[in-house]
Amino acid sequence: MNDLIKQLNKIEIKPDQDWKQDSRDFLISKIRRVDGIRNNHGLSGFWARAVNIWSRMFIVPRIAWKPVGVFALVALIFFGGSAVLVQASKSSVVGEPLFVVKVAVESLKMAAETDNIRKVALANKVLDSRLSEFDRVFTASNDGSAVSNSQDNNANDEVALALDEVEKNIFKVSYRFTDLKNDNYEDDKRMVAAAMEVNKQMKSYKQKLKKAQAEAKAGEVVEKIEQVLARVDEVDIDVLEVIVDSHSKNEDLVDKNELNSIFNERLVEIGVEAEQVAQVVDFKSDQLSGDILEKTEKVKQNIKIANEALQKGEYGLVLSLANDTSELLRLVYGENFDVYKLEFTSSKEEQDMATDTESGDDEAGVESSDNNVEDEIETNINELGEIKGDTDENFLPTSGNIDFNEKLIQIDEVVIEDNENNQNTGPGTDDSNGDEGDGEVLSEPEQVKEFEVGIN
Amino acid sequence: MNKFNQKNLLKKIKNGDESSFGKVYDFYVDKIYQFVFLKVNHKENAQEIVQDVFWKFWQYVHKPEAQINNISSLLYTIARNLVFDFYRSQGRDARVTIPIESQDMIDSLVQDNSLEKEAEIDIKYDIEAVQKALEILPDSYQDIIVLKYINELSNKEIGIILNKKEGAVRVNCHRALLALKQAIKKQDLDR
């Protein structure tokens, strides 16, 4: 491995000197030009902000957006900002030409808004819209209509793009909420109502994202959703701090039952994660450091104390314990833990799989109908495909004592093989006999037959 | 470039100081170019993207809500996003189908003049193999390998760029190296 790292260290690529200088000069002149525009338009307040947003969006478009931006600008000039165009852009999703119009309209609305509470509500509304768009793109990508791998990749790109937009707008909600906090807003009642609303929204976003994460097929989408969920959590913690703080100042501001329910759900959520961690710790206790075992124990204690504090209505303590516990869980995950978790999950799924396969054989032996057997086998095929890839050797149960590194290599081999197969074949093609894939989709009985060969 | 310098530079850039922007450009352009080139594998495209990275950086610094702790991480994050946009604009498969300008690349890859000619040929071959193997890795592994072992960033910086915890970066480094090793072996077998 050290040799490989040494080789990697030797890779050094440098740009042409001439290009470096030209590019530098070009950038400096561009800065002068745009700064000139910015400083000379002589506008202030709302119009200055509006023009600034507009110029950022269209004067210097990103590579990918260049044609879209130009098209949208021409279209806007042509229609003179007509309501038809704005209306048409409402149903657009990221990546479509009219999406840029939709975002521009949203940005202008935000620039026109002066009240910080309404800004938070508006940012939340935009986020809601981005999440609905993600939902549409994700549902379309997950409907199984892709017949080739490049189509799958494109669909994943679109999902990732939609998730980027969701994440970007979570940041915006967070900025707006921070502005609201820093503004020392005097109307506590409105501020708490805004915070409660954001909390409610974040809860619903979390549910939607978790559902999508459970359904997502591509690893990168799962990972990206995990990132977005972490952002949602950060905003939620900010919001909860405001709610608890306001409640400690004036108990009438927040309904106690509502507060109980919010924290109860949060503790349950942390409890579920803690339970998963505990299972992995039990599974790998001999290989884990004392520090991790200590942290896991501390997590259990924290949850217990937090539940007691919740009964007594000490919400500040509950929030602080919940945050500490989440942080502890994050720290546990930071030390090779996710690899152990992966190993634990694979081992568990392999066991379940072996049990399922056995029971499938038994049922076939006791004269269950042919259709039922085929259904069951097909379900097993899907499960196996999701867990381990599609090679025959992966159908064989592996020993729980398999070397850790060997296991990682096996998983990575599957990733690499998948990549190769993806370039040549579509889903449902038969590569197990070494033939080049031709994109032909096997009929169901053929799939079943292949699976039976795989087991035997 | 220490933290104090970074803060000062950022402040000056925010105030519109072109020469401070120039300093940032001079300090980071080679590194960012290397990162982008290894991802897109095409000189002109890499140049266009790198130029855009520095322009975006200037724009971002001037945003009122911008909170920048580390210039390097910000530049790499922008570069990564623009590369991603580039793939998207070209279609995902573009990266695979772009021909590798092998000779150009090998010439620029090998910088160690002190090596004997024969040894140099071996290294050229090895680096080319590594480069080709890198191409077939998933994006997340590619990023980690380029940032960690080629651009030699710390786990902390990589964590910020990839939006991952430091521990996760450490784990992924290990996995990415194993995957790269496997990819090189596979290439050798196929040859």
Using DSSP's 3-state secondary structure scheme, residue A60 falls into coil
End-to-end CA distance of chain A: 37
- DSSP letter string, A189-258: HHHHHHHHHHHHHHHHHHHHHHHHHHH--SHHHHHHHHHHHHHHHHHHHHHHHHHHHHHHH-GGGS-HHH
Contact list in A for residue B177 (CB cut-off 8 A) is: 1, 4-5
pLDDT of residue B18: 82
Q: What is the mean pLDDT of chain A?
A: 68
pLDDT surpassing 70 at residue A25 = yes
pLDDT surpassing 90 at residue B57 = yes
Verify whether the Cβ–Cβ distance B58 to A27 is below 8 Å. Answer: yes
Protein fold of A117-254: Methane Monooxygenase Hydroxylase; Chain G, domain 1 (1.20.58)
Distance CA(A251)–CA(A243), nearest Å, equals 10
Verify whether the Cβ–Cβ distance A8 to B145 is below 8 Å. Answer: yes
Q: How many angstroms separate the CA of residue A433 from the nearest CA in chain B? A: 18
| pLDDT grade for A271, boundaries at 50, 70 and 90 | confident
Q: Quick: pLDDT tens for A422-456.
A: 444 333 333 333 333 333 333 333 433 333 333 33
pLDDT of residue B106: 35
Q: Quick: pLDDT tens for A131-185.
A: 999 988 888 877 655 444 555 566 777 888 888 888 888 888 887 887 777 665 6
Report the residue of A63, A65, A71, A335 to disrupt the B interface, i.e. the one with the largest count of B CBs within 10 Å.
A63
Residue type, A427: P
Distances (CA, A) of B93 to A412, A423, A441, B100: 21, 9, 22, 14
pLDDT of residue A256: 83
pLDDT surpassing 70 at residue A80 = no
Contact list in A for residue B107 (CB cut-off 8 A) is: none
pLDDT of residue B109: 38
Q: Quick: pLDDT tens for A273-308.
A: 888 888 877 777 776 667 777 778 888 888 889 888
- This prediction has a pTM of 0.44
Burial A370-383 (b: 16+ CB within 10 A, else e): eeebeebbeebbee
Report the residue of A2, A13, A19, A342 to disrupt the B interface, i.e. the one with the largest count of B CBs within 10 Å.
A13
Verify whether the Cβ–Cβ distance A10 to B55 is below 8 Å. Answer: no
Pick the residue from chain B with its C-alpha nearest to A14: B30
Verify whether the Cβ–Cβ distance B105 to A13 is below 8 Å. Answer: yes
Higher pLDDT, B11 or A128: A128
User: Which of A393, A283, A394 has the alpha carbon at shortest distance from A342?
Assistant: A283
Distances (CA, A) of B23 to A16, A71, A446, B13, B132: 18, 36, 64, 10, 34
Pick the residue from chain A with its C-alpha nearest to B23: A24
Q: Is A64 on the interface with B (CB under 8 A)?
A: yes
pLDDT of residue A428: 34
pLDDT of residue A85: 66
| pLDDT grade for A339, boundaries at 50, 70 and 90 | low
Within its chain, how far is the Cα of A428 from the centroid? Answer: 28
B51: nearest CB among A27, A220, A416: A27
pLDDT of residue A171: 83
pLDDT of residue A378: 42
Report the residue of A137, A157, A416 to disrupt the B interface, i.e. the one with the largest count of B CBs within 10 Å.
A416
**Ranges of H-type helices in chain B:** 3-14, 18-40, 43-61, 71-90, 94-97, 102-109, 117-136, 139-145, 155-162, 166-190
B123: nearest CB among A8, A10, A63: A10
Report the residue of B32, B51, B95 to disrupt the A interface, i.e. the one with the largest count of A CBs within 10 Å.
B51
Cβ count within 10 A of residue A143: 9
pLDDT surpassing 50 at residue A124 = yes
Contact list in B for residue A336 (CB cut-off 8 A) is: 167, 170-171
pLDDT surpassing 50 at residue A194 = yes
Contact list in B for residue A333 (CB cut-off 8 A) is: 165, 167-168
pLDDT of residue A150: 53
A64: nearest CB among B89, B112, B179: B89
Backbone angles phi, psi at A286, to 5 degrees: -70, -20
B182: nearest CB among A14, A95, A413: A413
Q: Quick: pLDDT tens for A377-423.
A: 344 334 433 333 333 333 222 333 333 344 434 444 444 444 444 44
Cβ-contact B151, B35 below 8 angstroms = yes
- DSSP letter string, A375-393: HHHHHHHHHHHHHH-S-GG
pLDDT surpassing 70 at residue B23 = yes
Cβ-contact A341, B167 below 8 angstroms = no
Sign of CA dihedral B160, B174, A325, A232: positive
Higher pLDDT, A178 or A78: A178
Mean pLDDT of A59-68: 47
Tell me what ipTM this predicted complex has: 0.76
Mean pLDDT of A227-252: 83
Q: How many angstroms separate the CA of residue B108 from the nearest CA in chain A? A: 6
pLDDT surpassing 50 at residue A30 = yes
Q: Quick: pLDDT tens for B134-175.
A: 877 888 888 888 888 888 888 888 888 888 888 888 888 888
Beta strands in A269-318 (DSSP E): none
Cβ-contact A122, A110 below 8 angstroms = yes
Where along chain A do its domains lie?
A: 41-112, 117-254, 340-425+443-455
Share of chain B above pLDDT 70, in %: 76
Distance CA(A372)–CA(A240), nearest Å, equals 50
Contact list in A for residue B171 (CB cut-off 8 A) is: 336, 338-339
Query: 131-190 in A: which are within 8 Å (CB) of B?
Result: 150, 153-154, 157, 160-161, 164, 175
Pick the residue from chain A with its C-alpha nearest to B97: A423
Cα diameter, chain B: 57
Query: 184-243 in A: which are within 8 Å (CB) of B?
Result: 219-220, 223, 227
Contact list in A for residue B65 (CB cut-off 8 A) is: 175
pLDDT surpassing 60 at residue A365 = no
Within its chain, how far is the Cα of B148 from the centroid? Answer: 10
Asked which of A32-46, A234-248, A390-404, B65-79 is least confident by mean pLDDT, the reply is A390-404
Q: Is A418 on the interface with B (CB under 8 A)?
A: no
pLDDT surpassing 90 at residue B50 = yes
Verify whether the Cβ–Cβ distance A336 to B167 is below 8 Å. Answer: yes
Q: Is A21 on the interface with B (CB under 8 A)?
A: no
Q: Quick: pLDDT tens for B88-144.
A: 777 654 343 333 343 344 344 333 343 334 344 344 446 677 777 887 788 888 888
Pick the residue from chain B with its C-alpha nearest to A67: B89
DSSP code for B148:
I
Distance CA(B12)–CA(B28), nearest Å, equals 17
Domains of chain B: 1-98 (1.10.1740.10), 100-191 (1.10.10.10)
